[in-house]
Each structure stands twice: as structure tokens, then as C-alpha cells.
């Protein structure tokens, strides 16, 4: 089961551009409490300010794997806390299923 989730996170990087409209609507939505929006921004900013690399980036492809995993984890949390109406609009059940109507 963990392998499936890991593969889903890796394939997420190729579908990231589809996630951008969801993010825009997430932060514009009045249904999402302000503190949840702030937590999402702080999580991303914290990672960019203090990048925690399990695998050093100079190892090329392998160095990007932990970045992809952490980024997809943050986005999965945003999907999880998103209002149901927003999830339904973008047909989101997880970050591996990113597509818009």
C-alpha cells in the first residue's frame, strides 16, 4: 500500500499544473477558514526557507524525490481540508486524481 502511495506522489509532479486552479479557488474560497489558508502558506514557506533534504539535491533525480514527496504531502493536506464543494468541482479524492470538469 505504501508503494502505491509513493508512486502516486511521484506521478503527481507531472500533473502539478492541473492543481493550480484548485489552489486558486482554495485560497479565494470563503468556505475555507483563514487559519487553514495560513497554515498551508506557512507549510510551503517553511519548507522553502528551511529545506529539509533527506537526499541531497546534487544526486540529481534522487535528490528531487524527497522534494516531491514533501510537496505532495502538503498538497494532500490542502485537499483533505478543502470544502466538499471544492473537491467535487475538481473531482479530487487524492492528489493522484487531479482533473477539472
Q: What DSSP assignment string belongs to 72-91? A: HHHHHHHHHHS-HHHHHHTT
Residue-level pLDDT at 38: 92
Query: How distant is the alpha carbon of residue 8 from its chain centre?
Result: 12
Higher pLDDT, 57 or 95: 57
Q: Is the confidence at residue 53, as pLDDT, over 80?
A: no
Residue 99 has pLDDT above 50, yes or no: no
Q: How far is CA 19 from CA 50, 57, 61, 72, 95, in A?
A: 24, 24, 22, 11, 8
Residue 12 has pLDDT above 70, yes or no: no
Task: Answer whether 0.85 is exceeded by the pTM.
Answer: no
Neighbours of 49 (CB within 10 A): 7
C-beta of residue 73 within 8 angstroms of C-beta of residue 43: no
Segment 59-89, tens digit of pLDDT: 667 767 777 777 778 888 888 888 999 988 8
| pLDDT at residue 20 tops 70 | yes
Amino acid at each position: 500500500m505504501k508503494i502505491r502511495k509513493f508512486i502516486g506522489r511521484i506521478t503527481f509532479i507531472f500533473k502539478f499544473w492541473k492543481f493550480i486552479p484548485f489552489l486558486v479557488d482554495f485560497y479565494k474560497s470563503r468556505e475555507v477558514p483563514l487559519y487553514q489558508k495560513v497554515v498551508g502558506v506557512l507549510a510551503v514557506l517553511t519548507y522553502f526557507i528551511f529545506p529539509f533534504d533527506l537526499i541531497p539535491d546534487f544526486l540529481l533525480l534522487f535528490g528531487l524525490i524527497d522534494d516531491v514527496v514533501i510537496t505532495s504531502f502538503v498538497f494532500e493536506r490542502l485537499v483533505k481540508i478543502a470544502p466538499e464543494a471544492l473537491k467535487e468541482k475538481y473531482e479530487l479524492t487524492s492528489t493522484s486524481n487531479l482533473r477539472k470538469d
